[in-house]
Chains A and B, each alone.
Chain A
């Protein structure tokens, strides 16, 4: 197996070994752009090829659940189905099959596969504040929606990153004030005390 080259991010030409962890900037031999390359031991390791999975040669050998013609090498740690080396995915020390990974990702059990989250606190805050600033007349409609979003998603995990419930609290406060304000204005208007 060969060590694969690291390509210049500008001209896509391979970078020379002399540039690896060199002190100061080096000029690319092709595009002349100045760069610094911080390399790690993984850069010198050959890229591993995927395992194809062995075919069953002897009768009675256990076969893979998804590829019956291939030899099973271990069971899935989640569903227990036999897996060939092609179907085996190692993750955090566990061996899982692709459908278990898919369902784990959908249900949010595999945190490390999560690649998208909606920030409901920002949605609630925007619904509570933006209509107030830009379209004041829409706030009787948007304030209850903001309140609903804030209460409904209060316990839903927000961002993976550090984040407090401050936005939710502000959204609830503003939404409640707007609802009460709209109610008072509506009452005064109906009773004819608002001209």
Chain B
């Protein structure tokens, strides 16, 4: 134990805003929340701990997918910039730094391993342990903690669990499960979102071949409206009776909108670079002018991207309409 202290540190450090750390004491586990210039303590006595739950979370996969997607886009744009668009060395180095950042984030996430949420249960607590947010550190910490708790309480044998299985499982029957609160929802946000996606696919196809400032403005308004509908749909579907298919489609449209926004930023950067405009030397009028000067049909990669976006938008919009009709029939 460090400096003859009665506490020994457990692996793991984390927390959303304030950092938390866990320390093994002689008869209790100490949870320390660091609030900058002060510390808050919580003690969990070994004799009171009933169980520890380690639950896998999807954060690991989400971080990998998001960083991986950004990394892939960066690599593709970097290659296109170097070999097709004839970027200057400065632009290539600047973009390589961006690519390196996402590659580092991906690598660090992979090295840290899968994510998890750890909860500690006593008769009166169900306490989250945000410092144990990676499976590896959680396993290591719970091994040390388990040894301490078992030295006080003894080990829970399989036989004693089976003897009490009836009592434990009687509370697990579905009829005593907490009731799921369903809020009535007519699906207006979803209808609007899918209708806008269909309209958006038409706008993309028309915009790919036809240059018009009005079209650009309408397209921007449609994206803003889609963003609002998407947020509304995600909020309202949480407590609705919607099926998994519709919920997943709402999430798919979220990914699509995010993907198109990122892609749009890269295309705008590409157009600005192509026009010789460097950061700090242009304002929003230049960006608008540059965007209006080009149509995707001018270049093959842009046309492919535009048609791909239109196909995604159309597919999500159509599937959404079909499922929404089914949802309306079921809720009539």
> In this assembly, does A184 line the interface, its C-beta being within 8 Å of a C-beta of chain B?
no
Contact of B49 (CB < 8 Å), options: A21, A29, A42 = A42
Stretch at the interface among A5-13, A76-84, A137-145, A170-178: A5-13
Contact with A along B25-67 (1 / 0, CB 8 A): 0000010100011111111000111111111100000000000
CA distance A90 to B155 in the complex (A): 26
- Tell me whether A35 and B38 are in contact (CB under 8 A): no
A-facing residues in B219-241 (Cβ within 8 Å): none
> In this assembly, does B214 line the interface, its C-beta being within 8 Å of a C-beta of chain A?
no
> In this assembly, does A74 line the interface, its C-beta being within 8 Å of a C-beta of chain B?
no
CA distance A14 to B319 in the complex (A): 36
Residue of B with least CB distance to A34: B56
A-facing residues in B1-47 (Cβ within 8 Å): 1-3, 5, 7, 23, 30, 32, 36-43, 47
> In this assembly, does A115 line the interface, its C-beta being within 8 Å of a C-beta of chain B?
yes
Would A41 and B55 be within 8 Å (CB), given that A2-B167, A160-B30 are in contact?
no
Contact with B along A90-118 (1 / 0, CB 8 A): 00000000000000000000001011111
- Tell me whether A35 and B55 are in contact (CB under 8 A): yes
Main secondary structure of the interface of B (DSSP, over half): mixed
Interface size on A, residues (CB 8 A): 50
> In this assembly, does B246 line the interface, its C-beta being within 8 Å of a C-beta of chain A?
no
| Chain B positions within 8 Å of A36 at CB level | 53-54
Residue of A with least CB distance to B56: A34
| Chain A positions within 8 Å of B50 at CB level | 6, 39-40, 42-43
CA distance A17 to B149 in the complex (A): 20
Residue of B with least CB distance to A115: B41
- Tell me whether B53 and A8 are in contact (CB under 8 A): yes
- Tell me whether A162 and B142 are in contact (CB under 8 A): no
- Tell me whether A9 and B49 are in contact (CB under 8 A): no
| Chain B positions within 8 Å of A7 at CB level | 126
CA distance A118 to B40 in the complex (A): 9
CA distance A99 to B167 in the complex (A): 40
Would A116 and B55 be within 8 Å (CB), given that A17-B168, A40-B149 are in contact?
no
> In this assembly, does B177 line the interface, its C-beta being within 8 Å of a C-beta of chain A?
yes
> In this assembly, does B119 line the interface, its C-beta being within 8 Å of a C-beta of chain A?
yes
Would A117 and B38 be within 8 Å (CB), given that A42-B153, A44-B164, A164-B3 are in contact?
yes
CA distance A175 to B178 in the complex (A): 59
Q: Nearest-CB distance from B16 to chain A (Å)?
A: 16
| Chain A positions within 8 Å of B52 at CB level | 37-38
> In this assembly, does A161 line the interface, its C-beta being within 8 Å of a C-beta of chain B?
yes
CA distance A18 to B166 in the complex (A): 11
Contact of A14 (CB < 8 Å), options: B42, B47, B53, B171 = B171
B-facing residues in A115-160 (Cβ within 8 Å): 115-119, 122-123, 126, 159-160
> In this assembly, does B150 line the interface, its C-beta being within 8 Å of a C-beta of chain A?
yes
Q: Nearest-CB distance from B58 to chain A (Å)?
A: 9
> In this assembly, does A25 line the interface, its C-beta being within 8 Å of a C-beta of chain B?
yes
CA distance A186 to B161 in the complex (A): 76
| Chain B positions within 8 Å of A159 at CB level | 32, 39
> In this assembly, does A30 line the interface, its C-beta being within 8 Å of a C-beta of chain B?
yes
Residue of A with least CB distance to B38: A118
> In this assembly, does B146 line the interface, its C-beta being within 8 Å of a C-beta of chain A?
yes
| Chain A positions within 8 Å of B41 at CB level | 114-117, 160
CA distance A47 to B32 in the complex (A): 27
> In this assembly, does B117 line the interface, its C-beta being within 8 Å of a C-beta of chain A?
yes
- Tell me whether A37 and B51 are in contact (CB under 8 A): yes
CA distance A34 to B57 in the complex (A): 8
CA distance A165 to B248 in the complex (A): 55
CA distance A160 to B55 in the complex (A): 30
Residue of B with least CB distance to A119: B37
- Tell me whether A5 and B168 are in contact (CB under 8 A): yes
- Tell me whether A10 and B55 are in contact (CB under 8 A): yes
- Tell me whether B37 and A118 are in contact (CB under 8 A): yes
Residue of A with least CB distance to B4: A162
Q: Nearest-CB distance from B38 to chain A (Å)?
A: 5
- Tell me whether A119 and B38 are in contact (CB under 8 A): yes
- Tell me whether B153 and A39 are in contact (CB under 8 A): no
- Tell me whether A15 and B172 are in contact (CB under 8 A): yes
In the complex, besides A15-B172, A40-B149, A116-B39, 19 extra interface pairs with C-beta distance below 8 angstroms are A3-B164, A5-B172, A8-B53, A14-B176, A14-B177, A17-B168, A37-B54, A39-B161, A41-B155, A41-B156, A42-B50, A42-B123, A43-B121, A47-B123, A48-B123, A115-B40, A116-B40, A161-B39, A162-B2
A-B contact pairs, 5 of them (CB 8 A): A7-B126, A41-B160, A42-B50, A119-B39, A162-B5
